[in-house]
Chain A
Amino acid sequence: DAGVIQSPRHEVTEMGQEVTLRCKPISGHNSLFWYRQTMMRGLELLIYFNNNVPIDDSGMPEDRFSAKMPNASFSTLKIQPSEPRDSAVYFCASNLGGVPYEQYFGPGTRLTVT
């Protein structure tokens, strides 16, 4: 299995621009998670989906952030408009949605907003 796939791996954009991050979960996994990692706050859960349905988006920092999962093999995280404080590494993870509960992470997208 190829594991969780994320694109792009690196994104540099200017403040105010729209940014879209993409994720393909492991085949057969029905739960998908978006995390953000910074030095100050560590790994934070932004939102997770179960069977393509958003279950908890309480970690989404503000309305500039939105996430979709149109099918079982694809999800996007969008930031519009982007701000310098959004600079971080964004990870996507997936799991079976049941036992075992461990989540498998993608390689991440390093976002820099100037």
Chain B
Amino acid sequence: EDQVTQSPEALRLQEGESSSLNCSYTVSGLRGLFWYRQDPGKGPEFLFTLYSAGEEKEKERLKATLTKKESFLHITAPKPEDSATYLCAVQASGSARQLTFGSGTQLTVLP
């Protein structure tokens, strides 16, 4: 069974204080790993797809990396508007379409 574990559950940072969120996964063959951002009262917003170990993707202050067992979402010099819940999901190569989601990391960036 595919499993995704995110840590920490919650993270409070001061504005400008860089940090990383972790996503550990167990899957029978990885087709893709996805990062989403979810704001309160809204649907998850797609951020990145990573397909293979060693791959990295960047968007503004966010950088996602992937190894064979985990992914990190690095946040550099965060701003209060980066406050949200960040969700990680995996798609196994054997599954046609399903995503398995982690429980998320709730990030709060204080001004």
Q: How many residues of A contact B (CB 8 A)?
A: 23
Min Cβ gap A20→B in Å is 19
Segment of A66-74, A80-88, A101-109 engaged in the interface with chain B? A101-109
The complex places the Cα of A104 from the Cα of B32 at a distance, in Å, of 15
A105 with B96: CB separation less than 8 A = no
Q: How many residue pairs at the A-B interface have CB separations less than 8 Å?
A: 53
A43 with B97: CB separation less than 8 A = no
- A100 at interface (Cβ–Cβ under 8 A)? yes
Q: Given contacts A42-B102, A42-B104, is CB(A102)–CB(B34) below 8 Å?
A: yes
B43 with A45: CB separation less than 8 A = no
Q: Which residues of A contact B43 (CB under 8 A)?
A: 4, 91, 93, 105-108
Given A33-B97, A48-B98, 7 more pairs with CB closer than 8 A: A42-B103, A43-B44, A50-B97, A55-B96, A101-B49, A105-B45, A108-B42
- Chain B interface (Cβ within 8 Å of chain A)? 31-32, 34, 36, 42-46, 49, 87, 89, 91, 96-99, 101-104
- Chain A interface (Cβ within 8 Å of chain B)? 4, 31, 33, 42-43, 45, 48, 50, 55-56, 91, 93, 95, 97, 100-108
